[in-house]
Each structure stands twice: as C-alpha cells, then as structure tokens.
Amino acid sequence: SIPLHEELEAEVATVAEREAAIVFGSGYAANVGTIGALVGPGDTVFVDKYAHASIVDGCRLSGATVVRFRHNDTDHLARRMEAAAPGGVRLVIVDSVYSMDGDIAPLPRLREVCDAHEALLMTDEAHALGVIGRTGLGVEEHFDRRVRVDVKLGTLSKAIPSMGGWVAGSAELIGHLRYAARPFLFSAALAPASAGAALEALRVLRAEPERVTRIQGYGTRFRELVSAGGMRTGDSETAVVPLIAGSDESAYDLATTARRLGVIGLPVVTPAVPRDLARLRIAVTARHTDADVELAAEAFLKAAGECGLLAG
C-alpha cells in the first residue's frame, strides 16, 4: 500500500464516524474476510433472510453455525437466538438498506435484541452510504444516532463511484482485521486510481450534502408516481425502487417494453429474488432532475400497462 490508501482509510473512518477503518479490494472481499475473522467453529451467526450473497458466503466459509431469520423480523430473530446453542461468539448481520427491495433495517430494535442476547451487530452499508441519513452517512444517522453498531461495513462502488470495500470500527477491531482477514492479507491493495477516486467522492459527500437531499426527494417522488399509477414497489423507502412484475418472464417483458419506450430498467429474477417476485430494480441518482423522474415514471407505467401489470 501507499500513503494514498492511508488517506482513504482515514476518510472512511471519518465518514463512518469510527476510530479506524480498513479498505479491501471489493465489498465481497470485505464481507468474506471480516466475517471469517470474527467468527468460526463454535460460534453462531444470525443472518437476515435477504442479506447479500457476500454475507451468506462469508458466513458459510467461516465455519460458524449459520442461523437465518425472517426479513426484518426482529421478534423471529429473538426467538432464533433463544433457541440457539449457548457459548461462543454471537454475531448478527444485516444490510442497512436491502439492495433488491430498498427497505431499511430496523436498527434500534436490532440493537435491543443483540444487547439482550449478548451478540455483536454488524451492518452492511453498501446501499445506505450516500443515500439515507440527513447527510448521507447511513443507517445510524437515519435513526438520529440513537444506537451504534459494533461493525460497520460498506462498498466504494455504489453511491461512491469507484471500487473496493471497507470496514470501520474500533482501532482494536481494525488492527485484528489487518492480520486475520485473509482477503485483505493475501490480496493486492486497491489500485491507486480507484483509491483516489473513492477518496475524492467521499470528500464530495461530506462537502455537498445537498446531493443527498436531492436523491432522497427523487426516490420519494418516483415511488409515489409509480405506486399511484398501479405498480407494486414493495416496502421501498429509499432511492432503490423495485417495480415488481411477478414472474421472471413478466420482468423480462417489462424491461424490453420499457427500453423500447426509452428507459432502462434491469430485470432481477430468481434466484436473486423469491419466486413470483421478479422485478426491475430502479435507482434514482442525484444527477437526475424532476423532469427525468417524471419522464421515467410515465414510461415505466406505460410499459407496465402494455404488459398487463398494473393493479386494478
């Protein structure tokens, strides 16, 4: 690594509001490496049913006992923890914002359950950083910093338009990961160009919070327009808005029709989402305009109408 990597890690720690941070080559590597460094045989990890594949893979590779709980269902999590074998480290892992649904993890209640069962809480901020919270700092800021997580992780390839993954926490945690997270220890450092791009993007995020205000407003407006027109958007409350089509074939048809009408929405089908919940995943950005949002909503609604997917 070079001094640029140290600058990036310091900036990540500042944005994450933590003592220290470490940067991996990808978000996938960050999850796999961090989970494997925190838990192993004899430990138990509790994972939301809709958690990202990198979290699931990291849990399986760690050798720890893996227990899944229903999506955003903290009561079910509590019951699973009560039924689990005692002993070892207990780790709960959730996405802050779920990539396919755009809904937010119930952080305050998760913290309560973890504290009651002496478990660590880890959040993946991949789709939260730059998107939720008053200034885009993620799920803790979204909940007015009423609670904190033990391990905060994210990517540099979503709202931050570069490459890489990161973990932020105490100096003790980050020091441990530098020597115990194998994807960090045995991989080349992030390319300097990617590190530099990520560093500048993080600085822009802190310097221009109005970008976050715009993206939150556009997400709400797009969701309101398509919902009012008869499209299902699930429980989305962020800039990630699913347009639920139903079958895989219906999602492909909707994407093809929408493209013909001048808008692009990429289909997400099984096994990435549950059967009969295939959808187009739409993400608004701060670079869009009010006119863009209205045009896109109109085009997607027209496409859905042609495909027979509008409610009522």
Asked if the peptide bond before residue 271 counts as cis, ω within 30 degrees of 0, the response is: yes
5 is catalytic: no
- Please state the length of the chain: 312
d(CA 190, CA 162): 10
Q: End of a domain among 186, 207, 228?
A: 207
Domains contained in the chain, number? 2
- Same domain membership, residue 120 and residue 240: no
- Same domain membership, residue 143 and residue 69: yes
**pLDDT at residue 147 tops 70:** yes
Least reliable range by pLDDT among 32-36, 122-126, 270-274, 302-306? 270-274
Q: Grade residue 312 by pLDDT with cuts at 50, 70 and 90.
A: low
Asked if the structure places residue 248 within a domain, the reply is: yes
Asked if the structure places residue 89 within a domain, the reply is: yes
Res 108: pLDDT: 98
Catalytic residue among 5, 52, 71, 127: 127
- Same domain membership, residue 11 and residue 155: yes
Q: Grade residue 219 by pLDDT with cuts at 50, 70 and 90.
A: very high
Beta bridge partners of 65: 44
pLDDT average, residue stretch 121-150 = 98
pLDDT average, residue stretch 33-38 = 99
- Same domain membership, residue 254 and residue 173: no
d(CA 197, CA 194): 5
- Same domain membership, residue 215 and residue 187: no
Q: What is the pLDDT of residues 199-214, one digit of tens each?
A: 999 999 999 999 999 9
- Cα atoms found within 13 Å of the Cα of residue 110, Cβ hemisphere only: 30
Contact 221, 293 (CB under 8 A): yes
Asked if the structure places residue 237 within a domain, the reply is: yes
Q: End of a domain among 192, 207, 222?
A: 207
Res 311: pLDDT: 81
- Same domain membership, residue 183 and residue 108: yes
Beta bridge partners of 68: 47
On whether the pTM is more than 0.85, the answer is yes
CATH value at residue 22: 3.40.640.10
Q: What is the mean pLDDT of the chain?
A: 97
- Same domain membership, residue 301 and residue 167: no
- Same domain membership, residue 102 and residue 15: yes
Contact 83, 47 (CB under 8 A): no
Catalytic residue among 5, 71, 152, 158: 158
127 is catalytic: yes
Asked if the structure places residue 156 within a domain, the reply is: yes
- Same domain membership, residue 243 and residue 151: no
Contact 93, 46 (CB under 8 A): yes
d(CA 18, CA 172): 12
Which domain covers residue 239, as residue numbers?
A: 210-306
Res 261: pLDDT: 97
Asked if the structure places residue 312 within a domain, the reply is: no
pLDDT average, residue stretch 288-307 = 98
Beta bridge partners of 69: 48
- Same domain membership, residue 251 and residue 144: no
Res 1: pLDDT: 85
pLDDT average, residue stretch 155-173 = 98
Catalytic residue among 26, 96, 99, 250: 99
- Same domain membership, residue 157 and residue 120: yes
Asked if the structure places residue 154 within a domain, the reply is: yes
Asked if the structure places residue 66 within a domain, the reply is: yes
- Same domain membership, residue 270 and residue 199: no
CATH value at residue 239: 3.90.1150.10
Rounded to the nearest 10 degrees, the angle between the axes of helix 53-62 and helix 27-38 is 30
Asked if the structure places residue 195 within a domain, the reply is: yes
Q: End of a domain among 149, 184, 207?
A: 207
